[in-house]
Amino acid sequence: MFSLIKLIIWLAGVAVIAYFVLPYFGYEVNTNYWNERKSACQEKLTQCQKDLIQSGIQGAKEKCDFQCLNPQVLIKKK
């Protein structure tokens, strides 16, 4: 249990340090990324639910291959 808490603290520390160090190297964190992508991901999820109902699991595997997180857009060069 202690190691889990220690890991969470380390990850939070690295995230805070990265947030302040990235602008020094010419990068910025897109803080509006989650708000921008939420509606697009929700639409894809709704479409996948419809595909799952209509064509079963095989159809959903073929059509529901999407990623809602794009690291190139989350952290971008200034």
The mean pLDDT of the chain is 82
Percentage with pLDDT > 90 across the chain: 22
Q: pLDDT digits over 52-74, tens only?
A: 777 776 665 666 766 777 777 77
Rounded to whole angstroms, the maximal C-alpha distance in the chain is 50
Q: Are residues 51 and 60 in contact, defined by beta-carbon separation less than 8 angstroms?
A: yes
Name the domain count of the chain: 1
Q: Are residues 29 and 22 in contact, defined by beta-carbon separation less than 8 angstroms?
A: yes
DSSP E strands, the chain: 27-29, 75-77
Q: pLDDT digits over 18-45, tens only?
A: 889 989 999 888 888 778 788 888 888 8
Q: How far is Cα 30 from Cα 78, in angstroms, rounded to an integer?
A: 11
Q: What 8-state DSSP symbol labels residue 22? A: G
Q: Per the confidence metrics, is the pTM higher than 0.75? A: no
Look up the domain containing 21 and give its range. 2-77
